[in-house]
Amino acid sequence: MARKSTISLTSRMDLVAFMGAICLFLSAIEYMIPKPIPFLRVGIANVPILLCLDVLPVPLLLLVVVLKVIGQGLIGGTLISYVFLFSAVGSFASALSMLLFRRLFAPRISLVGVGVLGALFSNITQILLARVLIFGEGAWLIAPPFLALGTVTATLLGLFAERFAARSRWLASVRSAVAASKAL
């Protein structure tokens, strides 16, 4: 029997574990980037989630998000803190909005657009949470730079994800393996 892809995909759970590990690795790198606000992140750990939008079913994609959030909490030492709550709320708002927009507008929206929308939803939910839990009305003062930085970084990360998705033989083999498993 001929092998169609260079990398075999033994199961979707292997992909979840691998992408969770990539999120953990990228979270470690991201942790080294100075943050002017404790819960502000560049978002590089979202790249694996962007890449999995078209590959994993919703429950497994959300499992990758859970692994990402827990990994960030462990690496940052924020697992039991308000920062963890901000990360979790922002990550799930981002993932769910990216899923929604990708599923509704798949051929017409790029990973850049999906990433920017995900960042906006993440940032807006975090600003609302900051308003309720910490800053009160003062949360609106951090909104403009927070939203601007999130839009810029999401655009750059989306461009990277688009380029990676277009050039990666590994991701192409994962997509074809998943498509083949759906056809069975």
HSE-CB of 6 using CA atoms within 13 angstroms? 5
Q: How many residues are there in the chain?
A: 184
**Taking residues 112-131, what's their average pLDDT?**
94
Lowest mean pLDDT among 39-48, 123-132, 159-168: 39-48
Taking only the tens place, the pLDDT of each residue in 147-166 is 998 999 999 999 999 999 99
Please, which pLDDT band fits residue 13 given cuts at 50, 70 and 90? confident
For residues 170 and 134, the model is more confident at 170
- pLDDT of 37 above 80: no
Which architecture, in CATH terms, is 12-179?
Orthogonal Bundle (1.10)
- pLDDT of 4 above 60: no
Domain boundaries, the chain: 12-179
Enumerate the H helices of the chain as residue ranges. Answer: 12-31, 47-52, 58-76, 82-105, 111-130, 139-167, 169-183
